[in-house]
Structure 1
Amino acid sequence: MDRRAFTLIEMLVVIAIIGILVAILLPALSMAREASRNAACKNNLRQFGIGMMLFADKDPAARLCTGSFDHSRDGCMDTYGWVADLVSTNAAIPGEMTCPSNPLKHNVKLLDAYGKATCDNLDFAASTRLIAGQCGKDNLKGLSGTSGTTFAKTAPQTADRAAFVSRYFLGGGYNTNYVSSWFLARTAPRTYFRDADKSLRTGGQVGRQGLKGLAASIGPLRRPYIEGSRISSSNIVLLGDGGPEDLDEAVSPVDFSISSSDIFAGGNGENRDFIRTGELLVETSSDGPVFYDTTDKKIKRIASFDGNLTKQVQCERDGECLPPPSSSTNRLYWQDTRDWAALHGGGKGGTCNFLFADGSVRDYRDTNSDGILNPGLKVPQTLTDSEYLRVGYRDNVVELSPSEFFSGVFLSKSSWKGVFED
């Protein structure tokens, strides 16, 4: 046989071997990259935890933070919220420490600063909070817009306001794609005792959205509350990998970018894109106590005012909280965990990273591959696809063990006192 034929056969064999090696190595390379991203995500969370403890050291009330990253509910995001706290203490720059595994890099609450309310019937923060920090100033580094009175004189939902949000908030690191827990931002419900039926009731504002607002809660989590809690600090979640906000609220209507021609350029030739029109944005905080309503086939929040918490206190006191039923006279609540997402690992069931109050970071697996983690809400396995899309959870399989991840309502035993005495 001609030597050239042997050479051709040898080349084909080598090519085939290379192809096999590439097929073997590419998945391994992809897994190695994701392992690196996962490690970076966990390191971010650890750094945030350290930063929160440093903030608590200096805060007169020993709070871990001043609230959620939420302009409408907590106030201007350079002054209030855990992101602002970390930036102000030089502990971390959350906008530069986003989870690299998450394809969603920007927070939906930036749209609040832009002037587009991201949800109906919001629990608005006090007016003084809404115009705190740069939100209440009439210029940005000596430059101003022409159509407003605050936010450097920029009117809501204008190109000038988008430029302001881009240069100040996004350019300054005031952004995150991690979701804070209701416990971190709110701690516990504001309550009152109704003497007529000897019941413990929610004492927030009438007609608001559950216990999401400051007025419906006792405020951000404080270190003494953790140290005196009946719940181990290793079971109190603070932050986790963020999932997308509801689709009807979280699509950016405009580009957010820095341009050499925008009103705040001041001769700076920098051009930088942050958010593109149509980009989906990430949620900012979990919603707090919820239950599954078997009649409407929905996950519903507790009423912000006059919601009955008596059974909840009883079951938490006795340590016998079963998956929440829907009966209005015997209703129990668990934490809504649908705003966190299982981003890591790929395959059918990824994992979600969480930071806990003891500083530890742990991941939990999405066993049914619905993208979220169920703490035990009793969702039936007989719903239609459209009903499951509305609910989120695909079944009642517990993915966040109650022994490791507290999903009740009350961290403190003080809530038990006086409700059940004669």
Structure 2
Amino acid sequence: MSRVSKYRSASGFTLIELLVVIAIIALLAALLVGAVVKARESARSSLCRANLKNVGIGFATHVIRSPGGEFCSGLFDHNREGCMDRYGWVADQINAGSAQPETLLCPSNPIRVNEKLLDAYGIGTNDNLNDLTGSLRSRWTKGMCGKVDWNGLSGTGDPDEGFASTDPVTEERRALVSRYFVEQGFNTNYATSWFLTYTAPRVAFRSSDGSIRTNGQAAQQGLRGKRETLGPLTDAYLTRSDVPSSQVALLGDAAPGDLDEAVSPIAFSYGPDDAFARDNSSRVFTPEGSLLSESALEGPTFYHRSQKIIKRIGSNGSRLEFQWECDSLKNCEPPTGSSGNNMYMQSTLGWMATHQGSGGYSLNMLFADGSVRGFTDGNGDLFLNPGFPIPDDLTESQYDTIGYRDSTPELGKGDFFSGVFLAPSTLKGYFE
């Protein structure tokens, strides 16, 4: 009897033949699992694009309905815009019936709750430098933010606090935010572009040196508030632009927020024992310690060569005539600071490539013409660089701080407008 036939199984196969069959089955199973995963992610990406298209229809509807022809009423941000069930693009979509709660969440993004919900909970997530002023402060007491109860139920806190009589940073406030805001759709893991919510900087002309300067009322960095910018994009302003609407991005898959303000100290959840329970139902939207998503992009920024960071433009006194000219001529150079060239570029670090495909991870974006397109992350850092001149000799920690890993443009000028002035002709009179 041969050594091989000695180990022939009852089915007639030798041990070697059985191992080969098992290996083939394992290989086929692996291929099948891979195909299923790819098919599932492809379906999720398609659903994400459908969600964004639907939001685009909602923006077009809002343009028609709003007196000023705005695409939206503003940012999804309690501190900068007001109560998030009344103000901001998410409230626009939900209240008009243009979107359902699940359609404002990208299914591929593991981050399920927006960092701005912490504002409603009561701990705040921004630097409070662009908060509402004057009569606009009344926006903080509109909607649920000013109500003493919800559906006849209320907490045990101070009624003057609003939020159905729940005090900030309490279990009652957590339950209300989870049940009312998150579950009813005042939540998103898509992040808005700077153009959608702010359009352009407020500027002033200085005849002494012929310069155009940022003219915000605050003296901090950033063009991210009502005192520093023109407010939400309008159809009339977009019509005056010589930038094709197919290059003006409005919305994209959100990245996680900064670690110092977007790690949730609470579980966004509710249960049968909280103050607003009507039955035995319970739900967990995201557990304690989870990352929360960005709400919007930073806007005009530059690479600061000496500090080795992406830095926001100064909101008051920063020179913009060089940016105005190059945006007019479509020949802007990569922006560098620290005795650099006074050029700026839209930071895209609030967006992240979340959709896995054969060519790597990709980012879905909605544009002002209603189209939705995907862009592939070329170097594996999950961010898409529009052209910041990032050096190739930095340390890992420096790259982690910046976000972009190299200077290769991943959003081409023919696909994505990353300047500051959509309609340079609006400033033409300054030079006549």
Question: What's the RMSD between the two structures over aligned residues?
Answer: 1.8
Equivalent residue in structure 2 for 1:146, among 145, 152, 156: 156
SS of aligned partner of 2:222:
coil
Identity across matched positions, percent: 49
In structure 2, relative to structure 1, the CA distance for the partners of 1:152 and 1:328 (3 Å cut) is farther
Matches within 5 A, 1:21-420: 21-125=28-132, 126-148=136-158, 149=160, 150-265=162-277, 267-328=278-339, 330-346=341-357, 349-420=360-431
In structure 2, relative to structure 1, the CA distance for the partners of 1:300 and 1:4 (3 Å cut) is closer
Spell out, residue by residue over 1:399-419, the C-alpha distance to the aligned partner (whole angstroms, 9 max, x if none). Answer: 000111000001113343133
Is the 1:51–1:92 contact (alpha carbons within 8 Å) kept by the matching residues of 2?
Answer: yes
Spell out, residue by residue over 1:335-368, the C-alpha distance to the aligned partner (whole angstroms, 9 max, x if none). Answer: 0001100111257831101000000011111111
Paired with 2:39 and 2:142, the residues of 1 have a C-alpha distance of 44
Ranges in structure 1 where 5+ consecutive residues have no aligned partner: none
Q: How far is the alpha carbon of 1:31 from its aligned partner? A: 1.0
Paired with 1:94 and 1:176, the residues of 2 have a C-alpha distance of 8
Moved more, 203-212 or 289-298: 203-212
One-letter code of the match for 2:309? K
Spell out, residue by residue over 1:187-228, the C-alpha distance to the aligned partner (whole angstroms, 9 max, x if none). Answer: 111112223322111111223340011221101011111122
Paired with 1:216 and 1:411, the residues of 2 have a C-alpha distance of 16
Q: How far is the alpha carbon of 1:274 from its aligned partner? A: 1.4
One-letter code of the match for 1:68? L
One-letter code of the match for 2:179? R
Paired with 1:392 and 1:164, the residues of 2 have a C-alpha distance of 35
SS of aligned partner of 1:286:
coil
In structure 2, relative to structure 1, the CA distance for the partners of 1:298 and 1:308 (3 Å cut) is same
Equivalent residue in structure 1 for 2:12, among 7, 22, 44: 7
Paired with 2:238 and 2:359, the residues of 1 have a C-alpha distance of 36
Q: How far is the alpha carbon of 1:56 from its aligned partner? A: 1.2
Moved more, 178-187 or 94-103: 94-103
Spell out, residue by residue over 1:97-133, the C-alpha distance to the aligned partner (whole angstroms, 9 max, x if none). Answer: 4111111111000001101111223311231111111
Spell out, residue by residue over 1:276-335, the C-alpha distance to the aligned partner (whole angstroms, 9 max, x if none). Answer: 110100100001000001011111101111111111112112222111122547310000
Is the 1:69–1:82 contact (alpha carbons within 8 Å) kept by the matching residues of 2?
Answer: yes
Is the 1:204–1:305 contact (alpha carbons within 8 Å) kept by the matching residues of 2?
Answer: yes
Paired with 1:70 and 1:336, the residues of 2 have a C-alpha distance of 19
- Structure 1 runs of 4+ with >6 Å offset: none
**How many residue pairs align between the two structures?**
420
Spell out, residue by residue over 1:380-403, the C-alpha distance to the aligned partner (whole angstroms, 9 max, x if none). Answer: 111111111111111110000011
SS of aligned partner of 2:219:
coil
Is the 1:324–1:334 contact (alpha carbons within 8 Å) kept by the matching residues of 2?
Answer: yes
Moved more, 267-276 or 227-236: 267-276
Q: How far is the alpha carbon of 1:70 from its aligned partner? A: 0.7
Moved more, 95-104 or 5-14: 5-14
In structure 2, relative to structure 1, the CA distance for the partners of 1:401 and 1:164 (3 Å cut) is same
One-letter code of the match for 2:150? L
Q: How far is the alpha carbon of 1:61 from its aligned partner? A: 0.9
Ranges in structure 2 where 5+ consecutive residues have no aligned partner: none
One-letter code of the match for 1:324? P
Spell out, residue by residue over 1:156-187, the C-alpha distance to the aligned partner (whole angstroms, 9 max, x if none). Answer: 11111111101110121111000110000111
Is the 2:154–2:276 contact (alpha carbons within 8 Å) kept by the matching residues of 1?
Answer: yes
Is the 2:218–2:228 contact (alpha carbons within 8 Å) kept by the matching residues of 1?
Answer: no
One-letter code of the match for 1:137? K
SS of aligned partner of 2:311:
strand
Moved more, 271-280 or 204-213: 204-213
SS of aligned partner of 1:245:
coil
